[in-house]
Structure 1
Amino acid sequence: MHENEVAKIIVDTAHAIHKHIGPGLLESAYENALAFDLQEKGLNVLQQHPMPFIYKDVKLDVGYRLDLLVENKVIVEIKSVDSLAPVHFAQTLTYLKLSDLKLGLLINFNTKYFKEGIHRLVNNL
């Protein structure tokens, strides 16, 4: 399955969660709901997946974790904040570069309308 196909399933599923639950919960609630629903759809989902940090050919254990890694192709970073800051976009892009993956979704569930909270970030896609 191509990254874009995986992303469509993720976005549709996240939209359904937002419609059902609405804004106002902690990130962990949305993360667990999204992981559960995606797994129910047969997708491989890793939660809080460790992200290695390699500096000068040395692997450093600094504790970076991806919220969700779906089908080993799409990184999903979940937020539940009043508004996304530039650092949220930079974090997702950096995770894409460090993992050498091509597509990331930054989803802020704390919005009135879901479309305001979904952002697609790419790395050489």
Structure 2
Amino acid sequence: MTETDISYKIRGAIFDIYNELGAGLLESVYVAALEWELLNQGLQVKREVPVPVHYKEVKMDLGV
């Protein structure tokens, strides 16, 4: 599967979730729904993965 295919599935899942749940819920609700949708489509999912961020030469401890 190409990155384009994966991106298409992710965007589709996001639109499905928004159409089903609408706006205004907690972020955790959308995260859980997106994880379920992507797993249901056969994709591998990791949540809250640490990502190194540097801002103005300062390493920010975000997502760690």
TM-score range, shorter chain: 0.7 to 0.9
Output the CA distance in 1 between the equivalents of 2:45 and 2:12: 16
Output the CA distance in 2 between the equivalents of 1:31 and 1:20: 14
Shift of 1:53: 4.8
Superposition misfits of 4+ residues, deviation over 4 angstroms: none
Unaligned segments of structure 2, at least 5 residues:
none
TM-score with structure 1 setting the length:
0.42
More helix by share: 2
Shift of 1:2: 1.7
Output the CA distance in 2 between the equivalents of 1:7 and 1:53: 23
* Counterpart residue number, 1:18: 18
Q: Deviations over 1:38-88 (max 9, x none)?
A: 01111011100111357xxxxx681x23xxxxxxxxxxxxxxxxxxxxxxx
Same amino acid, percent of matched pairs = 32
* Counterpart residue number, 1:41: 41
More strand by share: 1
Unaligned segments of structure 1, at least 5 residues:
55-59, 66-125
Output the CA distance in 2 between the equivalents of 1:22 and 1:37: 16
3-state DSSP class of the match of 1:7?
A: helix
3-state DSSP class of the match of 2:16?
A: helix
RMSD over aligned CA atoms reads 1.7
1:9 aligns with 2:9: yes
TM-score with structure 2 setting the length:
0.78
- 2:45 aligned partner, one-letter code: V
User: Number of residues paired by the alignment?
Assistant: 59
3-state DSSP class of the match of 1:8?
A: helix
